């Protein structure tokens, strides 16, 4: 339920409404904008409760949120969320966010060199895996804490915020120390304990859609994070598993405009995992930006054939430069900015 506070209500009047919400055993989420103040009531919303709040002084109106996810929904918050990051980078504003870097960090030079290359091509956020969710326990599972330090060094050296995946509550403290965005991977989208923990963290979280996660399940997973008090959630479509085996995953283009219609949260597209094939990354990246994505996550490697994970879908430096130029042409068409990248038409 959403309570719209009457214009001119004082802080004490607002506090009184919040106290009544808490007395009813529910949580209150205050959102004070320049235009109006609204209070979200989290918990069940029977009609009697709506009647009770409607009769309170300083309450302008009361609305029930029809969706099962509340804080995440567009009904709850009409204006788009813009996540603020270090170095003045934002996710969800007019400027596209481009997160690029290797699937996994292999050594310090590897991440530092890749950071310089992707930055020069126009990326504004550095990605790199330290803890890798691998299908086989014998595959390379990341360098762990050591990689977090390399990632942080590379981010500082190039002036970019950094994002890395957190797989377990065990590593929350170290990931928070070194990273600017915590990535919750597809395989952990419904790890509800992990969602609770990142919800308590004071860091933006990027939540990837599960391999067979429905849109509603994805948004409810984001609700877990927001319900713990973390407003800085970014959604990421990374492809879903379908009957098709010609590519690794099926990038669900529909999910981009739908998630943006249902939620105020920024939506990032990951065509690297969404396709699993290097040759498909650029066209799908262009399609995602055309469909309204707020940015991209792209795997880039200096020598993909020797990558310790996801080489088949990683772009070389020159392929990434080319992709950025093509994406820039689409960005212009949809009136989004991608600073420092010269647009060129994509090769057919």
- Residues that bind ligand PEP in the complex, under the rule CB under 6 A: 103, 129, 133, 185-187, 208, 238, 273
**Termini Cα distance of the chain:** 50
CA distance 270 to 185: 12
x/- track of binding to Mn ion for residues 102-121 (CB under 5 A): -x------------------
CB of 139 to ligand PEP, least distance (A): 12
133 binds, among ligand PEP, Mn ion, none (CB under 5 to 8 A by kind): ligand PEP
Nearest to Mn ion of 306, 348 (CB atom): 306
Nearest to ligand PEP of 80, 187 (CB atom): 187
Phi, psi of 229 (to 5 degrees): 105, 5
325 binds, among Mn ion, ligand PEP, none (CB under 5 to 8 A by kind): none
CB of 307 to ligand PEP, least distance (A): 11
Nearest to ligand PEP of 186, 235 (CB atom): 186
CB of 238 to ligand PEP, least distance (A): 4
70 binds, among Mn ion, ligand PEP, none (CB under 5 to 8 A by kind): none
CB of 153 to ligand PEP, least distance (A): 20
CB of 278 to ligand PEP, least distance (A): 15
Nearest to Mn ion of 152, 313 (CB atom): 313
CB of 282 to Mn ion, least distance (A): 17
Q: Which residue is nearest to ligand PEP (CB)?
A: 185
186 binds, among Mn ion, ligand PEP, none (CB under 5 to 8 A by kind): ligand PEP
CB of 300 to ligand PEP, least distance (A): 12
Positions in 304-323 near Mn ion (CB under 5 A): 310
CA distance 66 to 211: 27
274 binds, among Mn ion, ligand PEP, none (CB under 5 to 8 A by kind): none
Position 297 contacts Mn ion (CB under 5 A): no
Q: Which residues bind Mn ion (CB under 5 A)?
A: 103, 310
């Amino acid at each position: 339920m959403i309570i719209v506070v009457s214009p001119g209500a004082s802080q004490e009047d607002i506090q009184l409404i919040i106290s009544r919400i808490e007395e009813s055993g529910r949580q209150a989420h205050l959102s004070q904008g320049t235009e109006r103040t609204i209070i979200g009531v989290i918990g069940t919303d029977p009609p009697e409760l709506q009647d009770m709040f409607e009769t309170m002084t300083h309450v302008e109106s009361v609305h029930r949120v029809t969706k099962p996810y509340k804080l995440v929904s567009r009904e709850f918050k009409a204006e788009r969320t813009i996540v603020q990051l270090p170095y003045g980078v934002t996710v969800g504003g007019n400027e596209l966010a481009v997160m690029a870097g290797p699937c996994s960090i292999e050594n310090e030079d590897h991440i530092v060199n890749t950071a310089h290359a992707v930055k020069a091509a126009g990326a504004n956020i550095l990605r790199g895996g330290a803890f890798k969710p691998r299908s086989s326990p014998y595959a390379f599972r990341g360098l762990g804490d050591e990689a977090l330090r390399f990632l942080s060094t590379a981010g500082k050296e190039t002036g970019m915020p950094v994002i890395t995946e957190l797989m377990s509550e065990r590593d929350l403290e170290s990931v928070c120390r070194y990273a600017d965005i915590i990535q919750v991977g597809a395989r952990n989208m419904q790890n509800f304990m992990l969602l609770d923990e990142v919800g308590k963290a004071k860091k933006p979280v990027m939540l990837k859609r599960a391999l067979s996660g429905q849109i509603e399940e994805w948004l409810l997973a984001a609700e877990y994070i927001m319900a713990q008090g973390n407003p800085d959630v970014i959604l990421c479509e990374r492809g879903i598993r379908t009957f098709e085996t010609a590519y690794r995953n099926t990038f669900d283009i529909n999910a981009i405009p739908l998630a943006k219609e249902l939620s105020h949260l920024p939506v990032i597209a990951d065509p690297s995992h969404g396709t699993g094939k290097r040759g498909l990354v650029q066209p799908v990246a262009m399609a995602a930006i055309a469909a309204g994505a707020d940015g991209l996550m792209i795997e880039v490697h200096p020598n993909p054939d020797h990558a310790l994970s996801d080489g088949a879908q990683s772009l070389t430096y020159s392929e990434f430069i080319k992709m950025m130029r093509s994406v820039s042409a689409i960005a212009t068409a949809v009136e989004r900015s991608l600073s420092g990248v010269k647009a060129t038409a994509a090769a057919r």
